[in-house]
Amino acid sequence: MVKLISASILNLLVLFSVVAQQPPKPAKVYSGILLTRFTEVKSEEGKEKDTSKILYVQNSLKDSLFVYKIADGILSEATAYILSGNNKGLYLRAKSILNGADSIEPLKITFSDAEHTVLVNQDEYKLFPEFYTKVKQQVGKQHSVIGLFDLLEDYLEEYSINDIYQVLLSDSHGRWGKGIRQSKITTQRSQSDLKDIWSYKYQYNRSGKLGLVKGTSAEETHFSKKMSYLNPGLIEMNIYRNTEDRQIISRKATYNPLKLNLLKLTEHVEITGKDKEAIITTTIGRKIIGKLKSLRMSQAEVIRLVDSKK
C-alpha cells in the first residue's frame, strides 16, 4: 500500500513538472489601422462635405478583419470578414457586427494547380505561376483575408465589399507586379435576372509592373485601370467603371507607396437617364494604431479609441 501511494505521488510530481515546463500559450494579438476620410461632393444641388473614420482591426493569424465605420460621432457600420475552411471548402464570410446579418453572400475560394487558377464562386482568375504559389500560400493555407483582398483589389465593389482601401490596408510593396494574367467575371444586373460576363486583360510594362487592366464584353467596356509610375514616390491610377450604363465613374487616384499614409481620389460620376453629374474629391489619411485588446468592440469602445487618436 505504501509503495502504491509513493508511486502515485511520484507520477503526480512528474506530471506537474511536465506541465510547468510547457511554454505558455502565446497571447492573442490584434492590430489596428485608422483611416480618416474627408469627402467633398460638388453637384448641381450645391456642395457637401463629410468626414468619417474607418477602423481596421485584424488578428495575428490574419484570417479575420473587422471594419468599423464611424460617421457623425456614431458607429454607423461594422462588418466582420472571416476566411475559414471546412469539409465543403474555403469561404470568405461577412457579417454585420451590429445585427449579425450576412453582409455578402459567402465567397467560395477554389484553387487549380494545373492551370494556376483561383475561382471565387464562378469568377475565374488565371495567375502567373509565382504569384499563384504566393496566393495559395497566403489565402489557401494561411487564410489571409488581406491576401484575398489584394487579389480582388479591382473587384471588391463587384462582391459588395465596401470601405476597403487596399493600398492603405496592405503593406505589400510588390502589389502591382506580375500577378493576374487574365480573368473572367460575372456580374448580376440589379433590375433583372440577366447576368453579364466580362473578360479582363492585363498588360505589364518592361519592368514587370502593371500597366493596364481592361474588362470588356463585346463592344462594351465595364472597367479599365491605367497605371502611371511618375516617380518612386508617386503612383497615379486612372480608373473607369460602367455600372449597367446607369452610373459611369471616372476616377483618378494618386498614392505614395513610400509614405503609405495618404490616398487621394477624384471621381467624376455620371448618372444616365437623370442627367445628373457630380464631382467627388476624397482624401484619406492613415494612422497605425498598434496593438489592441480585441477584434470585437462595442460602440463605446470604438468611439473612445477613435477620439483618443485625434
What is the pLDDT, as a whole number, of residue 3?
47
Picking from 297, 293, 307, the residue whose alpha carbon sits closest to that of residue 80 is: 297
Q: Which residues of 255-287 are buried (b: 16+ CB within 10 A; e: fewer)?
A: bbbeeeeebebebebeeeeeeeeeebebebebe
Angle among Cα 109, 240, 167 to the nearest 5 degrees reads 55
Predicted confidence (pLDDT) per residue in 79-119, tens digit? 999 999 888 899 999 999 988 888 889 999 999 999 999 99
Q: What cell was used for 74?
A: 456614431
Q: In this predicted structure, what is the pLDDT of residue 163?
A: 93
> What does the pLDDT look like over 229-273, one tens digit per residue?
988 778 999 999 987 767 889 999 998 877 778 899 999 998 776
- Mean pLDDT in residue range 199-214: 95
- Name the band, by pLDDT with cuts 50, 70 and 90, for residue 278: very high
CA–CA distance from 197 to each of 118, 124, 183, 189, 210 (Å)? 17, 11, 10, 11, 23
The pLDDT of residue 24? 52
Percent share of the chain, pLDDT over 90: 62
Instruction: Give me the pLDDT at residue 21, please.
Output: 52
Q: Shortest CA distance to 264 belongs to which of 283, 280, 248?
A: 283
